[in-house]
Amino acid sequence: EADIYQTPRYLVIGTGKKITLECSQTMGHDKMYWYQQDPGMELHLIHYSYGVNSTEKGDLSSESTVSRIRTEHFPLTLESARPSHTSQYLCASSETSGRSGSYNEQFFGPGTRLTVL
């Protein structure tokens, strides 16, 4: 079991609310990622980080924002949630390639299931 945690696991909120999804890892990994996954569909990368103070947008456009102030913490924020944000959000982390020969294996958290009413 990977040491990567996400809270909350489930969240049901009303439209217009501000939310923050938490993600923490204790493996000391430099790289962290946020994915969005809808039922029966592939994971889509929405944000990633190479390390502290690094944040980049992924392939799928998202109205969310992220921050990376500490290595172990990579929270995702939605300023004003809408029903279109209803989805599962998965956080992952990986070592910088080449250091362990792990071929960039990404370790995933359990996910947050977000429902916006």
Partner 1 sequence: KNQVEQSPQSLIILEGKNCTLQCNYTVSPFSNLRWYKQDTGRGPVSLTIMTFSENTKSNGRYTATLDADTKQSSLHITASQLSDSASYICVVTDRGSTLGRLYFGRGTQLTVWP
Instruction: Choose between 75 and 110: whose C-beta lies nearer to partner 1.
Output: 110
Contacts of 97 (CB under 8 A, 6+ apart): 103, 104
Q: How far is the CB of 17 from partner 1 (least distance, A)?
A: 23
Instruction: Choose between 54 and 80: whose C-beta lies nearer to partner 1.
Output: 54
* Peptide bond before residue 8 is cis, with ω within 30 degrees of 0: yes
**Quick one: how far is CA 89 from the chain centroid?**
6
- Sort residue 107 into left (φ over 0), alpha (ψ -120 to 50) or beta: beta
Q: If DSSP codes are grouped into helix, strand and coil, which group holds residue 48?
A: strand
Task: Please report where in the chains the tokens 């489930």 appear, as a residue.
Answer: 10
Instruction: Choose between 15 and 104: whose C-beta lies nearer to partner 1.
Output: 104
Q: How far is the CB of 7 from partner 1 (least distance, A)?
A: 13
Q: How far is the CB of 75 from partner 1 (least distance, A)?
A: 17
Instruction: Choose between 90 and 116: whose C-beta lies nearer to partner 1.
Output: 90
Q: How far is the CB of 104 from partner 1 (least distance, A)?
A: 4
Token readout for 86 is: 């209803």
Q: Which residues bind partner 1 (CB under 8 A)?
A: 2, 4, 9, 31, 40-43, 45, 48, 50, 90, 92, 94, 97, 103-106, 108-111, 113
Task: Please report where in the chains the tokens 């958290």 appear, as a residue.
Answer: 109
